[in-house]
Structure formats: C-alpha cells, structure tokens
Amino acid sequence: MTATERASAAGTPAAGPPRKRGRDVQGTKRLAALLLSPTLLVLALVIGYPVLAGFRESLYARGEGLDADGFVVEGDRFAGLDNYTAIFQGDRADAFWNAFSNTTFFTLTTVVLETVIGVAMALIMHQAFRGRSIVRASILVPWAIPTAISGLLWRWIFQADGAANALLRQEILWTADGFPAKMAVVIAEVWKTSPFIGLLVLAGLQMIPRDVYEAARVDGAGPVQQFWRITLPLVRPALLVAVLFRMLDVLRMFDLPAVLIGVNQKSVETLTMIAWFEASNLRYGSAAAYATVLFLYIALIAYLFVKLLGADIIGEARQHGRRERRRRA
Amino acid sequence: MRRIPLIGGTPLASAVVCAALALSLSACGGDDGGGSKGGTGAALEGRGPITFVTGKDRSGYLQKQVDGWNSEHPKEQVRIIELPDEPNDQRQQMIQNATTKSDAYSVLSLDVVWTAEFAANRWLAQLPKDQIDLSKMLPATITTGQYRDKLYAVPSASDAGMLYYRKDLLEKAGIADPPKTYDEMWADCEKVRKLPEGEDVDCYFTEVNKTESMTISAVEAIESAGGSIIGEDGKPALNTPQAKAGIEFLVNAKKEHMPKEAVTLDTEGGRRYFQSGKLLFQRQWPYQYALANSDDGSSKVAGKFAVAPLPGPAGPGVANLGGHNLAVSAFAKNKATSLDFIKYLAGEQSQRANLLATSKAPTIAALYDDPEMVKKFPYLPVLKAAIASAKPRPVTVKYGDVTAAIQGEMYDAVTGKKPVDQALTDLQGKLQPLTAQ
C-alpha cells in the first residue's frame, strides 16, 4: 500500500504538473483576455473606429455641382479610389509632391539637428555642477511653450525688421513664401523640440551605472572614447525611442508652419496642411484620402526605422526572453 | 510580455497619429444625409432666446448693443457667442455647426465673401426682402448679401480701401491735390523724394503677401484697369488686356515703388510701416485712420496724412468691398426673433451708435453725409464714394479654392517667379473648373 501510495504520490508530481500547467496557462490566458478586454475595447473605439471611418470617408465624395437653383447637390456618392487617384493628377500632383518633399525635408533636417543638439543638452544636464537645476529648467522652457505661441514668437523674430535680421545684419525676408521660410520653420522647430530629445536622453543617461565609467577610466579611456563606446551604446534605446517619436511628430507637422509662415505657402506646405485645406473647403473625402496617404507614409517610415535601427532592440529583447525561457526550462 | 512595448512602440504610435488625423476629419465630416429646409424661402417662425455668433469683438461695444435689445425683449434674449479672431477659424466653426445641423447658432455675422458658399449649401435661411428696409443702404453692400438674386444676409458693416497719403510731404513738394492716376502718383513720389525729408520714404504700399489681402489687391488692380477676375458671364476673364494691365501695375509697383519687405507685410505690418513715417502713399482700410492719428506716440504721422480715393491707370481706381453681413442659420430655432434682431442691429440707430463707438463703417448711406459724423470721421465722404463704386471679390460657391488659386498665381507674378502672362493663363486654367457651374 505504502509502496503504491508512494509510487502514485511520486507519480503524481511527475505526471500531474504538465496537465495542471496546461490548464493554468489556459486559465491565465482567459483571465488575461478578460482583463485586457476593456483596454482593447477602448482602443478599438478611439483608434480603430476613427481609422476605419476616415478610410471609409476617403472613398466617398459629396457636394459636387450645383442644381438649377444654385444649391449644392446633396448626398454622398461612392467614389471608389477617385479621391486617391486625383491626388496624383495634374496640378494637385505638383502640390502633393511639393508637400511630400517639404514634409520629408523638415523631418530629415529637424530630426538630425534635434538629435545632435538634444544629446548635447542631455550631456550638459547630466553633469553635476552648481546651478544644474537652473540649466535643466531653462533648457526645458521651449518645450513647455505651446507650439502656436512659439510660432508667434518666432514670427516676430523673423519679421523683416525683427531680431533675426538685426542680429545677422541682413535683410532676409524670412516670413515670405520662399526658401528662407523653410529655414525659419526648421530653426523654430529645432529650438522647440530639442529639449524633448534632451529630456528622454537624460532619462537614459541616468540609467547607466556609474561603475561602467569607473571601469573605463581604470582602463584608460578618454572622455571621447567613453562617449562613443559607453554612453552612446547604452543610451541608444532611449535615444531611438525619442527620435522615433520626433519623426512621427514632424511628419504630421501643421501648427508651426501654419502660424509662423501661413497656410497655402508653397515653401512650407506639409501633407497635413493639404489635408486641412481640403477639409476646410468641404472636400472631406479628399481630405481623408490625403490623411490616409500620410498615414501610410508614416507607417512606412516607422517600420523602416524599426527594421533598420531598432532591429537590435527587438533582437536583444527576443534573445533575452529566450535566454530566460531556457534558464527556466 | 516583452514584445508588447515593441509592438506598441511603433505601429501603435503611428496608429495614434492616424487616429488623431482621422478623428479630426471624421469629426468635421459628419453625415450630411437627409433634406434640409434651409434656403427654401419658408416663412421665418418662432420666437424666444437666440444666439448671435460673431468674431471677437475688440471694442466691447457689441455687448452694450445686445443689452439694449435684451432689456426691451425679456422673452427673446440674445446671447453673444464670440468666435476666434481669424476669419478662417470663424468660417470653420460656423461650417461645423451647420454640417451637424446644430441649432446652437441663430444669427451669424458673415464675411461678405462667404454668402455664396453658405447659401448654396443651404446653411442660411432665405430672408424676406419685403420685410427688411434695404432702401437706406448703399446698393453695393446689398449685393454682397445676395445669392442668385435672393437675399440671405443683411449688410451691417462695410469696408473699402482708400489711399492714405502724407499731406505734409506733398505740400512741401508743392503738390496741392492727391494723385488720381498711377502716373501722377509716381511723379508725386519722385518730387517728394527729392526733398530732404523724403529721401528714405518709400512710394507706395498695397498688400502683396500670400493671404486674402493678395486677392483684394489683385481685384482692385484688375478692376481699376477696367477688367474683372470673373466676367459677367460667370467665367474667368483673365485672358483680357485689362487683367494684364492690372497685374502689370502690381508687379511694377512691387518692383519699383514698394518697400523691400513688402511681401512680408500684412495689414497690421503695413499700418506700422505707414505710422513709422516711411511711406508716402498707402492703400489701406479705414480702421487705420483713427490709429494713425492717435497722439499717444505710437504714430509718427498723426495729423500729417489724409485720405483720397484710390488712383487708377487713367482716373480714379476701383476699391474692393469688405464688411460683414448678418444672416439667419437655417437650423436655428426662433427665426422670427432672429430676423427682428438683425433689423435692430443693422438699423440706422444701431449703426450710428456703432460708428461713433467703434468707427466701423456703416452700410446706411445717410450716415456718411451726417455733418456730426463727418466732423468726427473726416474720411467718411471718401469712403462713401469708394464703397459706392467698389467691386466685390469673385462671388462663387467655392470661394476658398478660388481665392487660394488667385493668391498663389498672383504671388508668383508679383515676386517675379512667373511672367505676368504665364500667371494669368495658369490662373484662368485653374479658375475655369472651379467656376464652371
């Protein structure tokens, strides 16, 4: 009896756990689904529905033509992909590619400049010195100012008789439609958002343990070597997230060029501004089509960014997970 | 679990971006199905509280006028809804209100160029001409409230451009009268610039930045030359020698006679420039008169300038018509009260009080000849003549597209990016589909 009992007692733990664990996993999964469902529901409502509704809108046209009494003909018309093909035809194609290149130009220039300046800011903010809190606070001020307000501030600076021209001793017409307007937007945007990158990178810097630097110093690494070999690789995950956020932000830039230079200005018109112009002239379908094209563009950029630069994070995390699983097994 | 931030980090973030975009679009693109009763000319019925929707009232006087109405009509109270300062933002909010068929807005204060768009979309109630006394109003202003010969809005304030000129400098140069033609203007300027005081003075300024002001300058230049952007047959008429002459004037003025920074100056920028004493002739709205004459030190030209009708190529030019009209939203309740309130606000008494308090140009003709008013606002006779002969901007349902096209092409012409002929041909091509209805 005792022997069989012992055997069964010994057998149960051997045979039992897998079955029990299987049930556990299933139960956990169900519980997880249950706990997550409110979140998923909210996401579906506030993200899924608007995306789909926007896409649906882009397939319809309305308000085309007047009737005999001069009233706009009412009702929707299913237009299929007409709103999309119209984007790439004739004058509108010129406007689209102009806005597309503006958007890309702003994204490239501002993100590169912001990254360099932001990292420099973070390094300064990270140093321990007297008055550090004042420096930190003052670096963050531009980020705290609403974009529309900073657009107005910079418009005064860039006026023909403004501070920028007085400083440069030049007579550049910054706020008129033309290349200087592009520069004005880049400068204002970099001024405003470098602190954002600085802030995120600072958080990353504070995660780096001090002993790594001590070890480097013992090994005789200079400050430059320390920056390239230790700081940059270790702060990279935080930096990549910051850069990604900035890119997604700049790609849908609207308020700064609209306030600083104005709408309908060729040199600074972005894709969102075209979508806005279409919507404000009651072509909601066409506006939704532009927004969808922009969405696809942003998704593509984000995907490429993660694939090319962020691949390491994914790999690291996967390896990490695998290692842990292996360890558990 | 580790994967979640990765999944969430990227496509999700872009999904949020799109959602934000999509939200804003779908929010303004509310469903528009079903027939509406707007614009059918049905009797305006219903009495009770209403709202008055207008741009920001900087003078603070509007509330007093509304208080006057409210004390007499306790059961038909009017509440003011102030919209943002920018005309485009006002239009947006009114359109949003209309596309959702909300009854939140009763009486709308519309810019003169919006009438066609609002009426054609059935957002306005047609007004009974026989119940409103329009006979006292300047005829040019009444046309801005009409769409296809039906009345949709009552003009409550008008506006037109005038030529501001430096009286002191002209006198010193021995010139008695302000110029009536462009050539006279340039000749006068030559004389003034030979004076020691006139050395750094710029000749002329009209707005040529790429905004609505560009459209206004283009309309004035083309109409002064005897042309028109949209011809009488409703088709664009930019392939005419008159249109070309008009735009060539603008291009030439910008190149030879305007301040270097002209393309960056908006209405207020132009005012500051004139007030700094650096400008001899300027096309500007009446509101500048009081500000440039204020003796608080903000203006260096107080008491040194006067106004005249705009010059033209051979004789007086043509001004463009601005101003605001009052209309009743098609979706409002209490339309009868709304109509009464419009009659009150656009009536002679209110306009007179408003002119005195805010110097807003009235639409009632008699006020321009009132000696008491003329004493206080010496520019009124000039303004009356300007409004009487003023021409509206293109009357079209797709005004937003039309004005954007005009701004773009005219800006390219004025800044020398395109030859005048090319810009006019391109504009003609762009306006054809927009006005072909």
pLDDT digits (tens, 9 = 90+) for B246-270: 999 999 999 999 998 899 998 889 9
Q: Note whether B261 contacts A262, CB cutoff 8 Å.
A: no
pLDDT of residue B89: 85
* Residue in B33, B91, B120 nearest the CB of A70: B120
Quote the number of domains for chain A.
2
Phi-psi region of B303 (alpha: psi -120 to 50; beta: other; left: phi over 0): left
Instruction: Determine the 3-state secondary structure of A77 from DSSP.
Output: strand
Is pLDDT of B18 > 70? Answer: no
Domain contains A218: yes
String of b and e for B22-34 (b: at least 16 CB within 10 Å)? bbbbbebbeebee
| DSSP-based three-state secondary structure for A66 | strand
Q: Measure the N-to-C terminal CA separation of chain B; round to a whole number of Å.
A: 60
A314 contacts B17? CB cut-off 8 A: no
> Average pLDDT of B23-37?
38
Query: Does the interface predicted TM-score (ipTM) exceed 0.95?
Result: no
Please list every residue in chain B whose beta carbon sits closer than 8 Å to the beta carbon of residue A55: 22
Q: Does B95 touch chain A (CB under 8 A)?
A: yes
Please state the three-class secondary structure of chain B as a single string: CCHHHHHHHHHHHHHHHHHHHHHHHHHHCCCCCCCCCCCCCCCCCCCCCEEEEECCCCCCHHHHHHHHHHHHCCCCCEEEEECCCCHHHHHHHHHHHHHCCCCCCCEEEEEHHHHHHHHHCCCECCCCHHHCCCCCECHHHHHCCEECCEECEEEEEEEECEEEEEHHHHHHCCCCCCCCEHHHHHHHHHHHHCCCCCCCCEEEECCCCCCHHHHHHHHHHHHHCCCCCECCCCCECCCCHHHHHHHHHHHHHHHHCCCCCHHHCCHHHHHHHHHCCCEEEEEECCCHHHHHCCCCCCCCCCCCEEEECCEECCEECCCEEEEEEEEEECCCCCHHHHHHHHHHHHCHHHHHHHHHHHCCCCCEHHHHCCHHHHHHCCCHHHHHHHHHCCECCCCCCCHHHHHHHHHHHHHHHHCCCCCHHHHHHHHHHHHHHHHCC
Of A184, A98, A267, whose CA–CA distance to B412 is shortest? A267
Contact A219, A225 (CB under 8 A): no
In a domain, A85, yes or no: no
Residue B9 has pLDDT above 80, yes or no: no
Residues of chain B contacting A318 with CB distance shorter than 8 Å: 2-3
Q: Do A177 and B263 touch (CB under 8 A)?
A: yes
Distance between A72 CA and the closest CA of chain B, angstroms: 5
Nearest-Cα distance to chain A for B112, in Å, is 17
Residues 323-362 (B) with a CB less than 8 A from some CB of A: none
Nearest Cβ partner for A176 among B16, B264, B398:
B264
Per-residue model confidence (pLDDT) at position B59: 78
> What pLDDT score was predicted for residue B359?
83
A69 in a structural domain: no
- Shared domain for A24 and A112, answered yes or no, is no
C-alpha dist (Å) from residue A99 to A87, B23, B430: 12, 22, 19
Six-digit token string for B350:
């209110």
Co-location of A182 and A269 in the same domain? yes
Average pLDDT, whole number, for chain B? 88
Q: Tokens 């996967």 sit at which residue?
A: A318
Residue B42: band (very low, low, confident or very high) from pLDDT cuts 50, 70, 90: low
Q: What are the backbone angles phi and psi of residue B149, rounded to the nearest 5°?
A: 65, 10
pLDDT, greater one: A27 or B208: B208
Chain A interface mutation, best of B7, B14, B99, highest count of A Cβ atoms under 10 Å: B14
Cross-chain residue pair B397–A46, CB shorter than 8 Å:
no
Q: Do B11 and A177 touch (CB under 8 A)?
A: no
Centre a 10 Å sphere on the Cβ of residue B143 and count the other Cβ atoms it contains: 17
Residue B393 CA to residue B312 CA, distance in Å, equals 18
Q: What is the mean pLDDT of residues B387-416?
A: 93
Do A51 and A129 sit in the same domain of this protein? Answer: no
> Is residue A128 included in any domain, yes or no?
yes
Strands B279-284 and B202-205: parallel
CA distance A284 to chain B (A): 6
Contact between B44 and B125 (Cβ < 8 Å): yes
Predicted pLDDT of residue A316: 53
Out of A216-225, B10-19, B332-341, give the one with best mean pLDDT.
B332-341
Strand B162-166 vs strand B279-284: parallel, antiparallel, or unpaired? antiparallel
Tell whether A111 and A46 lie within a shared domain: no
Q: Are residues A13 and A116 in the same domain?
A: no
Q: Supply the range of the domain harboring residue A298.
A: 95-328
Specify the pLDDT at position A297.
95
B21 CB near a chain A CB, below 8 Å?
A: yes
How far away is chain B from the Cα of A283, in angstroms, using its nearest Cα? 9
B21 to chain A nearest CA, in Å? Answer: 7
B18 in contact with chain A, both atoms CB, cutoff 8 A:
yes
A37 and A162: one domain?
Answer: no
Show the domains of chain B with their CATH numbers. Answer: 50-159+321-388 (3.40.190.10), 162-320+394-435 (3.40.190.10)
Residues of A within 8 A of B264 (CB-CB) are 159-160, 173-176
Q: Which chain A residue has the Cα nearest residue B405?
A: A264
Q: A123: domain CATH number? A: 1.10.3720.10
Contacts with B432 from chain A: Cβ below 8 Å: none
On chain B, the residues whose CB falls within 8 A of the CB of A54 are 18, 21-23, 25-26
Q: Which residues of A touch B415 (CB under 8 A)?
A: 176-178
Do both A308 and A173 map to the same domain? yes
* pLDDT at residue B276 greater than cutoff 90: yes
Chain A residue with CA closest to B208: the answer is A176
CA distance B365 to chain A (A): 31
pLDDT at B94 over 80: yes
Is A89 a member of any domain? no
pLDDT at position A18 is: 52
pLDDT at A307: 84
Separation in Å, CA of B434 to nearest CA in chain A: 10
B263 contacts in chain A (CB < 8 Å): 173, 176-177
Q: Which of A54, A65, A72 sits opposite B25 (nearest CB)?
A: A54
Please state whether beta strands B279-284 and B146-147 pair in parallel, antiparallel, or not at all (unpaired): unpaired
CA distances from B374 to B359, B380, B383 (A): 11, 6, 11
Contact B87, B95 (CB under 8 A): no
This model's pTM is above 0.90: no
Determine what percent of chain B is predicted with pLDDT higher than 90.
75
- Cβ of A91 and B121 within 8 Å? no
A41 and A145 belong to one structural domain: no
Residues in chain A with pLDDT < 70?
A: 1-23, 310-329
Same-domain pairing of A235 and A130:
yes
Asked if residue A159 and residue A222 are part of one domain, the reply reads: yes
pLDDT of residue B391: 92
For A177, name the nearest residue in chain B, comparing CA atoms only: B210
pLDDT at residue B277 above 70?
A: yes
Contact A66 B437 (CB under 8 A): yes
Characterize the bridge pairing of strands B153-160 and B321-328: antiparallel
| Selection from A124, A227, A276 nearest residue B25 by Cα | A276
What are the tens digits of pLDDT across the range A179-198? 999 999 999 999 999 999 99
A176 and A35 share a domain? no
Say what angle helices A179-207 and A147-157 make with each other, to 10 degrees: 130
Q: Are residues A142 and A275 in the same domain?
A: yes
User: Which residues of B are less than 8 Å from A262 in CB distance?
Assistant: 209-211
Taking CA atoms, A286 is separated from A17, A74, B325, in Å, by 60, 17, 31
Determine, for residues B92 and A275 on separate chains, whether the beta-carbon distance falls below 8 Å: no
Q: What pLDDT was estimated at residue A92?
A: 86
- What percent of chain A is modeled with pLDDT above 90? 57
Give residue A46's identity as a one-letter amino acid code.
Answer: V
Distance between CA atoms of residues A4 and A6, nearest Å = 5
C-beta atoms of B19 and A72 within 8 A: no
Given pLDDT bands bounded at 50, 70 and 90, which one contains residue B39? very low
Gap between the terminal Cα atoms of chain A:
34
